[in-house]
Structure 1
Amino acid sequence: MQALTLNAAHGWRWLAEGFRIFRKNHLMLTFLVVSYWMLMAIVNVIPVIGTIATTLCIPAFSVSLMNACRNIDKGGPLGPQTLFSGFQKNPRALITLGAIYLAATVGILAISSLADGGALMQLMLAGRTPDAEVLASGDVMLALQVALILLCPLIMAYWYAPILAAWHGLSPAKALFFSFIACARNWRAFLVYSLALLVAATLLPGLLLGTLAALLPDGAALLTVVLTVLLVLILAPTVFASFYVSYRDVFVTATESDA
């Protein structure tokens, strides 16, 4: 399998095309995304076991959402059962990817603990808030920066890995390898994509909410809550759909051969 190298402009196209897919079946795609969030939240309530279980299942559920986006794009069937469709193909590889991701994340947090004595690690894994003295020292921020730097190559390896494992039957090692190479080759497009997400998720909503708050000061609080919920329900499915679009563009030859 060979990943295509795209120009930087594709980064914006991914988000725009993701919104187009969202508009084609916004109700069902939003339902699937919200259902996924709720299911993860419910399982995460279980101490330790919940976190492990959700992390192991994230790759399969991500494939489920990509199945939904592909079905919308190609006019295929779509229903509530699609939320669990990601467990039907190569589930062992997907669970393995989840286990590798969990182990790698714990390892990265362990390395970051050298900067703050494990405060960030305890916050992320156990939900334990660091002491005020630790927060004031800046050690947690340093640990966070270390973790983000180390997480970058991990995210690159996982960006396409679940899809490659489920849709193309690749082993976890090959899926991680091809995903990393695809992201590295298209770093310009991903840079533009990141900037587009920043504008769509923070700058434009902030400007809109600020303007409405200035025009309607009496109902600003309630209006802000309502608009924030609506923006999340639009933006989140759009972002998931943009993940699919990026795969479709980068691995276009492979996708066409599967069709």
Structure 2
Amino acid sequence: MNPYSVDPNGSSSDPASQVIESQAASDGAQFVQEGNSIDAGRATAWYGYGFDQFKANAGVWIGMLVVLFLIMMVLAFVPVLGSLASNVLMPVFFGGLMLACQAQKEGRIVTFDFLFAGFKDKFGPLALLGLFWMIAIVLITVVAGIFAALLFGGAMATGALTGGAGAMMGLGITAVLGFVVVAMIISIPMAMAIWFAPALVVFHNIAPIDALMTSLKASLKNWVAFLVFFVLYIVFAIIATIPLGLGWLVLGPVLIGAMYAAYRDIFLK
């Protein structure tokens, strides 16, 4: 059997009632906790799988991503608590989307219910992932901010000693660039840690911290594939954004399917 085959036909009339079953469903694949070492070229296959999954059930996938976007937009208007809730709940929604990917692969019907499946099972561990992610974002901002402040302080001191406004402005720009660069460098391992964590929680009952560490180690083990995936993402994101952002109606669901395919490639054999 092709491990990336997508069956658009399903036999269940009540997919929400089978959420827990989908976690235990098996096609004979075995879980590899340390992660498989894969060829970097598999990253292109992940996007191919995501697109096939999207084509098989485009309406539902677009609908789920649009609803999720609207929920995040509403939360964005709520001061403080909205930002907190969006960060904590994102892995919960993502866990449901992973279950939807699993259900579609098994040939079951995928409906809007799956978007909220993470609230019905594994809510606590998934929400903890979101909390850890939010803490990580704060740490990234603080560390990068301290680095930028040190650079800017140096710019102020240099400007005061030399009296050169131009030099001071240049070092100020350097401080801003320093913030961005440091934030990106720190964000890479954070992204690797969160990448597979929701899938590891919903499919294998791994505790949140262990899921983050497992995801990080497996991603580092396959860092070239991770890099290829990210570069392709940048290219696709630019293309998707050009037509008034409408391309994200396709790219969003494709990314979900691609990340599910990556999970299967790296953690199953």
* TM tier, smaller: 0.7 to 0.9
33-42 vs 69-78, which moves further: 69-78
Deviation at 1:150, TM superposition (A): 0.7
Aligned-residue sequence identity (percent) comes to 29
8 Å Cα contact 1:64-1:83 kept in structure 2: yes
Corresponding position of 2:226: 190
**Which whole-Å deviations, capped at 9, do the CAs of 1:6-59 have from their partners, x for residues lacking one?**
011101111111111111101101110111111011012100110001111111
Alignment of 1:27-42 (within 5 A): 27-42=59-74
1:7 is the counterpart of 2:7: no
**Aligned residue in 1 for 2:260:** 244
Say yes or no: does 1:65 pair with 2:97: yes
In the TM superposition, what is the alpha-carbon distance from 1:89 to its structure 2 partner? 2.4
1:63·1:166 contact (CA, 8 Å) conserved in 2? Answer: yes
Q: 2:86 aligns with which of 54, 58, 73?
A: 54
CA contact (8 A) 2:60 2:111 kept: yes
Cα deviation 1:138-177 (Å, max 9, x = unaligned): 4222211111111111111111111111221111121111
How far apart, CA to CA, are the structure 2 residues paired with 1:62 and 1:89? 13
State the 1:116 CA deviation. 3.6
Distance 1:2 1:205 in 2: 34
Q: For the Cα contact (< 8 Å) 1:19–1:238, is it kept in 2? A: yes
Runs of 4+ in 1 over 4 A off after TM superposition: 133-136
Flag the structure with larger Rg. 2
Cα offset, 1:117, TM superposition: 4.2
Contact 1:33/1:65, CA 8 A, preserved across alignment: no
The offset of 1:134, in angstroms, is 11
Residue 201 of structure 2: which of 161, 165, 170 is its match? 165
User: Are 1:99 and 2:99 counterparts?
Assistant: no
Q: How many Å apart are 1:199 and its aligned residue?
A: 3.2
Which amino acid letter does the alignment assign opposite residue 203 of structure 2? W
1:115 CA displacement: 3.4
Residues 1-259 of structure 1 mapped to structure 2, 5 A cutoff: 1-117=33-149, 137-202=173-238, 224-225=243-244, 228-229=245-246, 231-253=247-269
Change (3 A) 1:136 1:34: farther
Amino acid at match of 2:134: L
In the aligned structure 2, how far is the partner of 1:183 from the partner of 1:16?
20
- For the aligned residue pairs, the C-alpha RMSD in angstroms reads 2.2
Aligned 8 A contact 1:157 1:180 in 2: yes
Q: Distance in 2 between matches of 1:95 and 1:135?
A: 41
Aligned length: 219
TM-score after normalising by structure 2:
0.75
Separation in 2, partners of 1:135, 1:159: 35
Query: Gaps spanning 5+ residues in structure 2: where?
Result: 1-32, 151-168
**Does the CA-based 8 Å contact 1:134-1:140 persist in structure 2?**
no
Letter in 1 for 2:69: W
* Code of the aligned partner of 2:216: F
Structure 1 regions of 5+ residues with no counterpart?
A: 119-132, 210-223, 254-259
